[in-house]
């Protein structure tokens, strides 16, 4: 069930049977010479939309811009500063909580988002701690590749050249969903270098075509489809467990 294609009347009915909502969250940022700029928000959106076809899952609109400052040296990247990102996550959560949602599950597609999303949850909890909070309200962050079975599958699919940015697994997921948007290039080197993540100009100097440790040529739409199915199944189970958590009093 997609929230943005529902009416408020339908959501009011849904809230009578569940207090849980899934929010795909990612980033719009360079993904090497062949990865789509939307990769990191498309992946969780693709997986969550697939999962809701197979279960009574409510999926919110996708939070499509995240913490991507280190990619700003490449055009097409759009980034929120961490302070803005935190404020926006807080507003999303407060809006949903005002409507009665108590379990907010963020399915994340960008490693660079993790620190700020966790900080945003703490900011929200801190405010709630001073104001008095409804017991049982909880936010949870899960990267799609950390869903049960997904990384193991990716390791089997890509025993080498997976890397950490513009990876063949995330590119495969978008290839499966957007088969007419598959791009190719000659990679030099075939497997990109690795290194620390610092400021944007430093990043472009270290990683001239934007990839980190990856060989995107390994991606295929078929492998993407396998990943999506594994992730969607894992998501349904993980959300169910989260929804079933009872508050500790």
The residue within the footprint of a copy of itself, chosen from 54, 56, 84, 241 (CB under 8 A), is 84
The residue within the footprint of a copy of itself, chosen from 90, 149, 161, 225 (CB under 8 A), is 90
Count of beta carbons in the 10 Å neighbourhood of residue 11: 16
Do the Cβ atoms of 120 and 89 come closer than 8 Å? Answer: yes
Does residue 155 touch a copy of itself according to CB under 8 A?
Answer: no
Does residue 194 touch a copy of itself according to CB under 8 A?
Answer: no
Residues between 127 and 146 with contacts to a copy of itself, criterion CB under 8 A:
127-130, 133, 135, 137-138
Does residue 239 touch a copy of itself according to CB under 8 A?
Answer: no
Which helix (H) or strand (E) segment is 20 a member of?
strand 20-25
Binding region for a copy of itself (CB under 8 A) out of 6-14, 142-150, 153-161, 219-227: 6-14
The nearest distance, CB 60 to a copy of itself, in angstroms, is 7
Does residue 9 touch a copy of itself according to CB under 8 A?
Answer: yes
Size of the site for a copy of itself (CB under 8 A): 94
Mask 11-50, x = binds a copy of itself (CB under 8 A)? xx--x------------x-xxxxxxxxx--xx--------
Count of beta carbons in the 10 Å neighbourhood of residue 142: 18
User: In angstroms, rounded to a whole number, what is the distance separating the alpha carbons of residues 190 and 136?
Assistant: 49
Per-residue three-class SS string for 160-204: CCCCCECCHHHHHHHHHHCHHHCCCCCCCCCCCCCCCCCCHHHHH
Residue number with CB closer to a copy of itself (152 or 185): 185
Which helix (H) or strand (E) segment is 221 a member of?
helix 221-244
Do the Cβ atoms of 226 and 204 come closer than 8 Å? Answer: no
Residues between 99 and 118 with contacts to a copy of itself, criterion CB under 8 A:
99-100, 112, 114-118
């Amino acid at each position: 069930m997609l929230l943005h294609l529902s009416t408020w009347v339908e959501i009011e009915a849904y809230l009578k049977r569940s207090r849980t909502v899934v929010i795909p969250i990612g980033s719009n940022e360079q993904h090497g010479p062949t990865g789509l700029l939307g990769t990191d928000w498309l992946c969780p959106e693709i997986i969550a939309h697939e999962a809701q076809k197979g279960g009574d899952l409510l999926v919110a609109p996708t939070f499509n811009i995240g913490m991507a400052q280190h990619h700003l040296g490449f055009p097409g990247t759009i980034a929120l500063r961490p302070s803005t990102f935190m404020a926006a996550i807080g507003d999303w959560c407060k809006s949903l909580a005002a409507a009665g949602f108590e379990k907010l599950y963020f399915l994340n597609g960008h490693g660079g988002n993790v620190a700020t999303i966790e900080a945003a949850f703490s900011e929200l909890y801190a405010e709630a701690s001073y104001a008095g909070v409804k017991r049982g309200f909880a936010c949870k962050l899960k990267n799609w590749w950390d869903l049960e079975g997904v990384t193991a599958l990716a390791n089997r699919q890509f025993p080498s050249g997976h890397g950490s940015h513009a990876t063949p697994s995330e590119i495969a997921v978008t290839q499966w969903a957007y088969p007419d948007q598959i791009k190719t290039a000659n990679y030099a080197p075939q497997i990109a270098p690795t290194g620390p993540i610092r400021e944007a100009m430093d990043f472009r100097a270290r990683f001239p075509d934007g990839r980190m440790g990856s060989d995107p040529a390994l991606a295929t739409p078929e492998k993407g489809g396998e990943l999506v199915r594994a992730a969607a199944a894992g998501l349904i189970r993980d959300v169910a467990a989260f929804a079933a958590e009872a508050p500790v009093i």
